[in-house]
Amino acid sequence: MVNHSSPMDFLLLGFSEHPGLERILFVVVLVSYLLTLVGNTLIILLSVLDPRLHCPMYFFLSNLSFLDLCFTTSCVPQMLVHLWGPRKTINFLGCSVQLFIFLFLGTTECVLLTVMAFDRYVAVCQPLHYATIIHPCLCQQLAAVAWVMGLVQSAVQTPPTLRLPFCPHRQIDDFVCEVPSLIQLSCGDTTYNEIQLAVSSVIFLVMPLTLILISYGAIARAVLRINSAVAWRKALGTCSSHLIVVTLFYSLVIAVYLQPKNPYTQKTDFTNRNPHSKVTECHVDPDWPDPS
């Protein structure tokens, strides 16, 4: 790996230790990204242009598709550049913007998936009152709440993360700038940041997932009471796409944000990557600017 970084850049390691995999991953990521762009764009266009799809489910689905478009576009193009070429760096401003967007869109998606679970609950358990409960005004309000909560969460958590004193090597063992990776990169006291990360994880990950599971528990009980194969098929058709998205999204996010932090991970990882390095402890670089 060629290091073309300046003293103010972060080095995103990714799969740098396995250069043979990078070209293969480039093709896989590129194809997945193009399919994501095409699929989500089609969903948005169909939801807007087809009058038959002007219903709450497709309103929320179009919001989710727009979220996914923004989410993937905020990181995948840079990831493709890093996988294809020798340059693996991102400057402080780029890292800050990426972190803000990730927190903003990630939190919004957590809340929006919870709203969609409530929509599916009403559709299955209260079908006769669905149009009365899930009316267009409520849909717009719930979507607005999801976007505002994401914006507030990002505005609260991003500045303290960026004010951390980072180690001189500035090697992030990831493809993107995320809170856990930046906390591990810090050489100072991260107690406040870890508490903030834990609290936000409970509020925006654990609680929404709990509400989603409660919604689907109620859906399962309602379908079991009917004890009909037709009811099972209708419930599965109504909820399957949402369940798949929830499973994929939360599996990835929990793996990143809810895994226990090993305080020696970053130091050991840096030493392993540089076996001849004489660095035994991490000092703050005095030339690193204070973003505050």
Each residue's pLDDT tens digit, 40-82: 999 999 988 988 888 888 899 999 999 999 988 988 888 888 8
Q: In terms of pLDDT, which residue wins out, 177 or 152?
A: 152
pTM: 0.79
Cβ contact 113:246 at 8 Å: yes
Q: Which of 39-43, 82-86, 88-92 has maximum average pLDDT?
A: 39-43
Q: Categorize the per-residue pLDDT at 15 as very low, low, confident or very high, splitting at 50, 70 and 90.
A: low
Q: Is residue 2 part of a domain?
A: no
Q: Categorize the per-residue pLDDT at 289 as very low, low, confident or very high, splitting at 50, 70 and 90.
A: very low
Alpha-carbon Rg for the chain, nearest whole angstrom, is 22
Using alpha carbons, select from 164, 160, 174 the residue that is nearest to residue 11: 174
Average pLDDT, the chain: 80
Q: Is residue 212 part of a domain?
A: yes
Per-residue pLDDT at 276 exceeds 60:
no
Q: Is residue 5 part of a domain?
A: no
Q: Is residue 275 part of a domain?
A: no
| Percent share of the chain, pLDDT over 70 | 83
Domain count, the chain: 1
CA-CA distance, 110 to 140, in Å (whole number)?
A: 17
Per-residue pLDDT at 109 exceeds 70:
yes
Weakest-pLDDT range from 17-26, 96-105, 197-206, 245-254:
17-26
Please report, for the domain that includes residue 120, its CATH number: 1.20.1070.10
Identify the pLDDT of residue 17. Answer: 66
236 is in which domain, residue-wise?
A: 10-268
Weakest-pLDDT range from 111-115, 189-193, 250-254, 272-276:
272-276
Identify the pLDDT of residue 279. Answer: 36
Is residue 219 within a helix (H) or strand (E), and if so which, with residue range?
helix 207-226
Q: Which of 130-139, 141-150, 165-174 has maximum average pLDDT?
A: 141-150
Q: Is residue 276 part of a domain?
A: no
Determine the average pLDDT of the residues in 131-157: 93
The residues pairing with 10 across neighbouring beta strands, listed in sequence order, are: 90
Say which amino acid occupies 66: F
Q: Is residue 252 part of a domain?
A: yes
Per-residue pLDDT at 37 exceeds 90:
yes
Q: Is residue 38 part of a domain?
A: yes
Helix, strand, coil shares of the chain as percentages rounded to 5? 70, 5, 25
Q: Is the dihedral of CA 7, 8, 9, 11 positive or negative?
A: positive
Q: Is residue 173 part of a domain?
A: yes
Q: In a 3-state reduction of DSSP, which class is residue 256? A: helix
Weakest-pLDDT range from 98-107, 132-141, 258-267:
258-267
